[in-house]
Chain A
Amino acid sequence: MTDRLYVGTRKGLFVLDRAEAGWAVVSRHFLGVGVTMVLPDKRTGRVHAAVQHGHFGTKLHRSDDGARTFVEAATPKYPPKPEGLEDIEPFRKKPVPWSLMQVWSIEAGLPNQPGRLWAGTIPGGLFKSDDDGDSWQLVRSLWDHEGRKRWSGGGYDFGGIHSICVHPEDGAKVSASVSIGGVWRSDDDGESWRCDGTGMRAEYMPPDLAQDPVAQDPHRVVQCPAAPEVLWCQHHNGVFRSTDGGDSWTELQDGLPSTFGFAVAVHPTDPQTAWLVPAEKDECRIPKDGQVIVARTRDGGQSFDILKDGLPQQDAYDLVYRHGLAVNATGQTLAMGSTSGALWVSDDQGDHFECVQAHLPPIYCVRFDGGF
């Protein structure tokens, strides 16, 4: 049974353990400061946390004592911007700052890649470490790619990498998903990149540009560890699934109350089973009818169960951000955290939820110890 959860919020990192009486907060870190991502690395036991000081920049901290104490570690740093270089975000027409704004994703490499970490950031840099976070290198092959100049901001002013999927059998195969900029893939450990998957569509683009892979806004992309050719994507205007490693995507619509949302989680061993948290579309970004629900499919997205038990069904305006939904390594236990600071856990794949914390700060990310 999974018994530890890390919850990154706008006002700190909260560590919860499951005891006989239920889930309880056992430690709090960085109170008052945002924690945008946390990675409990099951290879080493080390816990990495991205700490976002409003005034003083983003830092990485890590713990080697089971999240009792954290120390500041090296932080990804952008290289000097060449004099005279024009690097403009295409929607807002603002210069792209070559400066770390936010660490949006951190993922570990494979067990046979000791020390390997990946970090996705805003404004769009992907960073790699081969010494377990003692130093970071900007992946220039992606940053300098012509296609990167077409990445644009959405909710944030600049595009960023929020989802990094490392192929569980071949660590050289990596994908980095960009809001807004599509799903980028590398087969050579980040030496070269392509964004050429077909099948996604962008409602917010003119019709003749709607299929453009780089124009897509994948809100979250996850990969099934046991069937890595299967990827799930909660996109800005739809839910998509790929069974060929991202070469092509199929849109799923039947049975979903809304196609808008941020989060998606996939079962670790069953690529047919996934969970989404639909919300009222774009213009509102609230739960439909004030009811928090989870949509679960067990047939690859052909149909969805709408799960409500234990979730608020009246005047609830909790939104679940892209990293706010997690499943544990057994695929049985789900955790979900909202913008209103509610944290729910289910031990039966979502049939029943229990609210284990009601008043945390707005939740950015939840992650199980030993999860993926």
Chain B
Amino acid sequence: MAVVHFTQNLRRHVSCPSVSVGGNTVAQALDQVFELHPVLQSYVLDDQGGLRDHVTVFVDGCQVHDRKTLCDALKPDSEVYVMQALSGG
């Protein structure tokens, strides 16, 4: 199972412990996370289901290519990190 981790900056606002989930793509994995933690979804995805502009996802050290439908593939032992972009003021 892939493990999904969340930035500490997000943990400040909403509960999001690291979690092991199934799924062949980032979208499938995140869907499972959001089933466990429904409030989390709107912090990571926008109203159209894409990644928020200032959120990014790494899979095994590589930034995902598909920010809109999150179809990047996962391996059974992938490490997924949901991070925030360095922006703001």
| Residues of chain A at the chain B interface (Cβ within 8 Å) | 33, 53-57, 59, 72, 75, 77-81, 97-100
Contacts and interface: CB of A to CB of B under 8 A. Distances in A.
A344 B46 CA distance: 37
Contacts of B14: 72
Top 6 A-B pairs, shortest CB-CB distance: A99-B47, A55-B54, A56-B43, A54-B88, A99-B46, A78-B47
Contacts of A33: 13
A56 B88 CA distance: 12
Given A55-B85, A55-B87, A80 B42 contact: no
B55 A59 contact: no
Contact of A53 (B43, B47, B48, B85): B43
Nearest to B44: A56
Nearest to A58: B42
7 contacts: A55-B9, A55-B85, A56-B54, A57-B43, A72-B14, A75-B42, A99-B47
B52 interface: yes
Contacts of B52: 55-57
Interface residues on B, range: 10 to 19
Nearest to A79: B47
A343 to B, nearest CB: 21
A57 B85 CA distance: 13
B21 interface: no
Given A57-B42, A72-B39, A75-B42, A100 B47 contact: yes
Interface in B8-52: 9-10, 13-14, 39, 42-44, 46-48, 52
B82 to A, nearest CB: 10
A81 B43 CA distance: 19
Contacts of B47: 77-79, 98-100
A102 to B, nearest CB: 13
Contacts of B13: 33, 53, 56
Contacts of B84: 55-56
A51 to B, nearest CB: 9
**Of B14, B43, B46, B87, most A-chain CB atoms within 10 Å:** B46
Given A54-B54, A54-B87, A59 B46 contact: no
Interface of B: 9-10, 13-14, 39, 42-44, 46-48, 52, 54-55, 84-85, 87-88
Contacts of A80: 48
A100 B14 CA distance: 19
A208 B73 CA distance: 56
Contacts of A79: 47
A190 B73 CA distance: 45
Contacts of A55: 9, 52, 54-55, 84-85, 87-88
Contacts of B42: 56-57, 59, 75, 77
Given A55-B52, A56-B13, A99-B46, 16 more contacts: A33-B13, A53-B43, A54-B87, A55-B55, A55-B85, A55-B87, A56-B44, A56-B54, A57-B46, A77-B42, A77-B47, A78-B48, A79-B47, A97-B46, A98-B47, A98-B48
Contact of A99 (B9, B43, B48, B85): B48
Contacts of A78: 47-48
A80 B49 CA distance: 9
**Of B13, B47, B55, B88, most A-chain CB atoms within 10 Å:** B47
A113 to B, nearest CB: 26
A56 B14 CA distance: 10
A76 to B, nearest CB: 9
A54 B13 CA distance: 12
Nearest to A32: B12
Contacts of B46: 57, 97, 99-100
Nearest to A54: B88
A59 B10 CA distance: 14
Contacts of A99: 46-48
Given A72-B39, A75-B42, A56 B48 contact: no
